[in-house]
Amino acid sequence: MPSAPTFDQTLRREFDRQGYFVIERYLSEADCQRLRAQALSLAAGYELSDGAAVFSTRTHAHGAQRYFLDSARDVRCFLEEDARDANGDLRQPLRQCINKIGHALHDLDPVFGPFSHSDSVRDLAEAMGLVEPKPIQSMVIFKQPRIGGEVVWHQDATFLYTDPVSVVGFWFALEAATVENGCLQVLPGRHRDGLKRRFIRVDDQTRFETLDSSRWDLSEAVSLEVPEGALVGLHGLLPHASAPNSGPASRLAYSLHLIDGQCHYPADNWLQ
Ligand code: FE2
């Protein structure tokens, strides 16, 4: 388990002002190794016959698929958009074609479960302002060498909306994240501009509802290169993205989202 984090007044101020913070040595080497080994073992156990869906934040074509919706309460693998060549064959061995595994590792997985419900994670979420922190969505994100796909600019509150907005994202670097392998990018301070869209589910169909059609100024983007073991904390309204992985190294991360159990959780959120 991670040691007690040092979320002091300085970090709190940074979080309030910028909408994110970085704790460089949050996970020990042993923690990283353990979580990485579990991620790889989940990937190794995956067969295409288990069901497959491509995960794309550009098209959201996965959104209408039963496989995607049912992953809300399961542990399922999603393939990279570029996993297949023109003939439909996998470009790399299957385990190197997995984009991510989601979305209920925090409840169902014997390793990621206890980690996600640890005192350390809860204390940190409380320090960030959540009264009743509730892990609600989790993903292992592989960002595979050469084919690791882009994650387009978004706010996590689009997908995990509460009234008032309470979601926070914990992004644990299980490997070093660099510009080359597609590290997180953020728009510092823009969490104060409100929510632009909601991702809504009605009768097993999903769609976006626009709340504010203005555009973000992407010239303000900052790349967050972090070492293995780092934790990036993200405000639910902070715009963030990541570029494709153009390099030879993967960029494995564990992403955990928590909401405040005291806030209203609407019945039309995709994740129920
Ligand atoms: Fe996100």
Reported as a single tens digit per residue, the pLDDT across 140-193 is 999 998 888 899 999 999 999 999 999 999 999 999 999 999 999 999 999 999
50: CA distance to ligand 1 center in Å?
A: 26
Measure 156 CA to ligand 1 centroid, in angstroms: 5
Helix (H) / strand (E) containing 222: strand 222-224
Q: Which pair of structure tokens corresponds to residue 21? A: 């913070």
How many angstroms is it from 154 CA to the middle of ligand 1? 6
Q: What is the mean pLDDT of the chain?
A: 91
State the distance from the centre of ligand 1 to the C-alpha of 232, rounded, in angstroms. Answer: 11
Average pLDDT, integer, range 110-128: 96
Label residue 204 by pLDDT band (50, 70, 90).
confident
Least confident of 3-7, 16-20, 24-28: 3-7
The band of 272, judged by pLDDT with boundaries at 50, 70 and 90, is confident
The pTM assigned to this predicted structure is 0.92
- Say what the pLDDT of residue 4 is: 47
User: Which of helix, strand or coil describes residue 117?
Assistant: coil
Rounded mean pLDDT, 105-115: 97
CA of residue 87 to ligand 1 center, whole Å: 32
